[in-house]
Amino acid sequence: MMFKQKIGILSLGCPRNLVDAESLAGRLRDKGYGIVDIAKSDTAILNTCCFIESAKKESIDAILELVDLKKQGKIKRIVLTGCLAQRYRESLQKEIPEIDAFLGPPSLNHGAGRFPLTKKHFAYLKICESCVHNCSYCIIPKIKGKFSSLGLDSVLQKVSLFNREKISELNIIGQDITGYGLDLYGKKILAKALKKILGKAKNIHWVRLLYLYPGKEVEGILKIIRDEPKVCKYIDLPIQHINGRILKLMQRKTSKSDILRLIDKIRKVIPEAAIRTSVIVGFPSEKDAEFEELLTFLRQAQFDRLGAFIYSREEGTKAFDFKGQLPEKTKQERFDRVMLMQQQVSSALNRKFLGKTIEVLIDERQGKQYLGRSQYDAPEVDGQVYVNSKRALKPGDFAQVQITDTLEYDLVGTAVEKEGRHDEYCQ
Ligand code: SF4
C-alpha cells in the first residue's frame, strides 16, 4: 500500500501519554500516513515524559538515539511531542538542533479512532486532562494547564468505538478521574458517567478505573464497583504519604484519618477488592520518625499493589523551594526499605490464591506458557499470571486458571475450563 509517508511513534511515560500518541497515530493513519516501527520510518515522532527526573532522563536518551538514527540516514525527521517537549521546548531546540519540529498536545476531544501502539485487546480511555488538585511536588497541572473533562457524549462515543472493536479490557484514566465533570457540569459526576459507560460496553468484559484521588468521591462509586460484574474489583488509590505534617506540605487534601476511614470502607463494601496505592519517600524535611510512620502504616495496611517513588525536586513546583531537601542516599535507602517491605507483604497476600481458580485475561504467549493478568492487575504496572494450557490461547482470551504456585508479585497456574473469547462471557 502506498503511504504518503511512513511515520514511527514511540510513546514514553504513562497511559495518559499513550492515549495521546494512539490518537495522533489514528489521525495520521486516517490521513493516509503509514504507521511503522520507528527504525523503519521517514519521520520519527517521540511522545516524551518529564514528570520526574528519571522520566526526563529516559526521554532525553530516546531523543539522542533518534539523533543517531538520523545521522546514520536511517530516519529523515525527528518530531517531539508530549510533556518534556512542552516544558523544555526552547532549550531542547537550542541544545539538540537535529529536532525538526514540535507538536503541541492533542485536544482531548478528537474524534479519530485510536491506532493501538501496544496490545490491541485492551485500551485506555482518558476522560479528563490535567488535574483539579495542586500538590506541591507535582508539575503536571503546570504542563497540562486547566483541568478539562471530555464531554460525556464524546466519552460514550469512544466507548462505542472500543465496544465495536470488541476489546477485552477498558481502562478509564485521567490524572484524577474523581474530578470528572467538575468543569463542564459544575459537579463531579464519575458515578453517573461510569453507569453510562457500562451501558455502552456490552462487548467489553472488564472495565477498570485508574487514578482515584482518595477523597469522598471514591465512596460514591464503591457500590457500582461491587455490584457491576464488568468492573474490576480493583481500587487504584494513590495516597502519597500518611503522616499529617507531610500530607499538609504536599498540599494533599486528605488526612491520615480520612485515608484510614476510606480504606476501611472499601474493605467493608468490597472485601475481595485489590487496593493499589503509590507513595513518595524522601519528601523535603521528612523526618526519620515520619518515614517510620509511613513504613509501619504500609506494613499494617497490607496494600495488594504498591508503587513507590523517590521524591524528585522539580523546578516550577512549590516543593522545589522547600527547606530540608534530603540527600539522594537517604531517599534511596527509604525507597529500598519500602520495596523490601512490600515484597514480603505481596508474597504473603499472593499465597491466599493457592488452589483457587481465577479468571485471567491472556496478554501474550511466552515460550510454552502464556502471560496474563487477573482483574487485580492493571496492565504494565502490576503482577502477572503465568498460565500453562493444553489448548492454544490468544491475546484477549479469558481463561479460568487454577493457581498452582505463588511468587512475590506473580502467580502461576493451569487453565482448567474451556477457554473462550470474552464475547462468550459478555452476555
Ligand atoms: S493529584 Fe496527582 S496529578 Fe494532581 S496535582 Fe496531585 S500528584 Fe499531580
Q: What is the CATH number of the domain that holds 217?
A: 3.80.30.20
pLDDT of residue 5: 85
**Assigned domain for 41 exists:** yes
| C-beta atoms surrounding 118 within 10 Å | 16
The answer to whether the CB of 136 falls within 8 A of the CB of 322 is yes
> Cβ contacts of residue 69 below 8 Å, gap of 6+?
38, 39, 44, 75
> Residue 1: which pLDDT band, with cuts at 50, 70 and 90?
low
Q: 270 and 285 share a domain? A: yes
The ligand 1 atom nearest the CA atom of 213 = 1
Rounded mean pLDDT, 69-95: 96
- Are 294 and 321 members of one domain? yes
Assign residue 369 the CATH number of its domain: 2.40.50.140
List of residues 6+ apart from 295 with CB closer than 8 A: 337, 338, 341
Both 293 and 338 in a single domain? yes
Residues 294, 343 within the same domain: yes
Rounded to two decimals, the pTM is 0.94
Dist. CA 102 → ligand 1 center (Å): 25
**Ligand 1: lining residues by beta carbon, under 6 Å:** 131, 133-135, 138, 140-141, 175-176, 213
Kindly report the protein residue whose alpha carbon is nearest to atom 3 of ligand 1.
Answer: 175
Query: Is 50 exceeded by the pLDDT of residue 247?
Result: yes
Pairing between β-strand 397-406 and β-strand 411-415 as defined by DSSP bridges: antiparallel
The answer to whether residue 422 is domain-embedded is no
Is 423 part of a structural domain of the chain?
no
Domain co-membership, 87 together with 233: no
In a domain, 110, yes or no: no
Nine-digit cell string for 141: 497541572
Domain C-terminal end among 102, 131, 149:
102
**CATH number for the domain that contains residue 14:** 3.40.50.12160
In sequence order, the β-bridge partners of residue 125 are 172
Radius of gyration of the chain (CA): 22
Q: Report pLDDT for 112.
A: 58
Question: Apex CA 81: angle with CA 80 and CA 87, to 5°?
Answer: 100
- In the reported structure, the alpha carbon of residue 332 is separated from the centroid of ligand 1 by a whole-number distance in angstroms of 22
pLDDT given at position 118: 86
Determine the Cα–Cα distance for residues 151 and 172; give it in Å rounded to an integer.
14
Question: Ligand 1, closest atom to CA 137?
Answer: 7
pLDDT in tens, 114-130: 898 989 999 999 999 99
SS3 letters for 17-79?
Answer: HHHHHHHHHHHHHHCCCEEECHHHCCEEEEEECCCCHHHHHHHHHHHHHHHHHHHCCCCCEEE
Q: Are residues 274 and 367 in the same domain?
A: no
Count up the domains in the chain and report the number. Answer: 3
Ligand 1 atom closest to Cα of 240? 7
List the grid coordinates of 131: 488535574
**What is the extent of the structural domain holding 361?**
357-416
